[in-house]
Amino acid sequence: MWYVQRAIIYIMVTIGGLYPDNLSTNELISIKDIQNKESKIQDSQNSYPFSLPSLPYSTSSLEPWIDRETMEIHWGKHHKTYVDNLNNACLQHAEFQNISIENIFARLNIPEIIKNNAGGHWNHSFFWKCMTDNSQRKKMPIHLQQIIQSSFGSLDEMKNEMERQGQARFGSGWVWLIQKNNGQLAILSTANQDNPLMKSSNVQGKPLLVIDVWEHAYYLKYKNSRSTFLSNFWNVVDWEAVAERLSST
């Protein structure tokens, strides 16, 4: 009967008003659930279930510097495997299903399987966005050039240092241009799928540019010559994207 229902609702609202903390806890949970679902829809690459992003160019458009076959295997096989393995790992470690990938990196003790595959997914997603086939975007913006000069002396010195660290990375890894909290730029190399967003990283900072120095990134075209791959990489850098990542400090 409707008046009984109304009376029950009235009592519940009254109790809710007397004990607002109880109600607000429930409300907070439901709002959080909705926000989680919304953020998943907005950014399906950055939270579970993770998905392979599409490339911002065709697999052949970075030729002759990076060949089509390397791109197809690197993106379509290697990167996809990290995405699949990360989703599978999240089934075993359900606590990582409801947080963004950046919040996974912010934790100190990440299970190795989550760390390696989350790093593999994030690093590759970022790497694709560091390159372009658009000649306009390959031009060096003035404000980026200025901060590179103040951090390294010149663009050539910055490039030389990235190539040197990329060459010196034993085994597999990445070489990063980052922006530190003080606004200055720095270069560092990470092993395997580690990155400077990880709390466990020796040097932390905001990634601006990265080069993948795993053999799978260059072996089909450059064979054992990582140094030639590194020196050719500058032909495909999206400097406009690098500049857009700079924080104004």
The residues of the shown chain that bind Mn ion, judged by CB under 5 A, are: 212, 214, 217
Our CB check for Mn ion shows the closer of 148 and 237 to be 237
β 206-212/185-191 pair status: unpaired
Minimum CB separation of residue 214 from Mn ion in Å reads: 5
Our CB check for Mn ion shows the closer of 66 and 148 to be 66
Compute and round to an integer the Cα radius of gyration of the chain.
Answer: 23
- Is the dihedral angle over the CA atoms 128, 129, 135, 139 positive or is it negative? negative
Our CB check for Mn ion shows the closer of 208 and 217 to be 217
Our CB check for Mn ion shows the closer of 152 and 214 to be 214
Minimum CB separation of residue 217 from Mn ion in Å reads: 5
The phi, psi pair for 47, rounded to 5°, reads -150, 165
Measured at the CA of 239, the angle between CA 205 and CA 140, to 5 degrees, comes to 120
- Residue 138 · residue 237 · CB < 8 Å: yes
Minimum CB separation of residue 77 from Mn ion in Å reads: 10
Minimum CB separation of residue 143 from Mn ion in Å reads: 30
Our CB check for Mn ion shows the closer of 162 and 243 to be 162
Our CB check for Mn ion shows the closer of 152 and 174 to be 174
Minimum CB separation of residue 88 from Mn ion in Å reads: 19
Q: Which ranges of the chain would DSSP assign to H, the alpha helix?
A: 2-18, 20-42, 68-73, 80-92, 101-105, 112-128, 142-152, 155-168, 219-222, 226-233, 239-245
Which residues face 193 on adjacent strands? none
Minimum CB separation of residue 213 from Mn ion in Å reads: 9
β 173-179/185-191 pair status: antiparallel
Distance CA 228, CA 164 (A): 12
Minimum CB separation of residue 112 from Mn ion in Å reads: 18
Provide the angle, in degrees to the nearest 10, between the axes of the packed helices 142-152 and 155-168: 60
**Residue of closest CB approach to Mn ion:** 212
Our CB check for Mn ion shows the closer of 96 and 122 to be 122
Backbone region of residue 222 per phi and psi (left: phi > 0; alpha: psi in -120 to 50; beta: other values): alpha
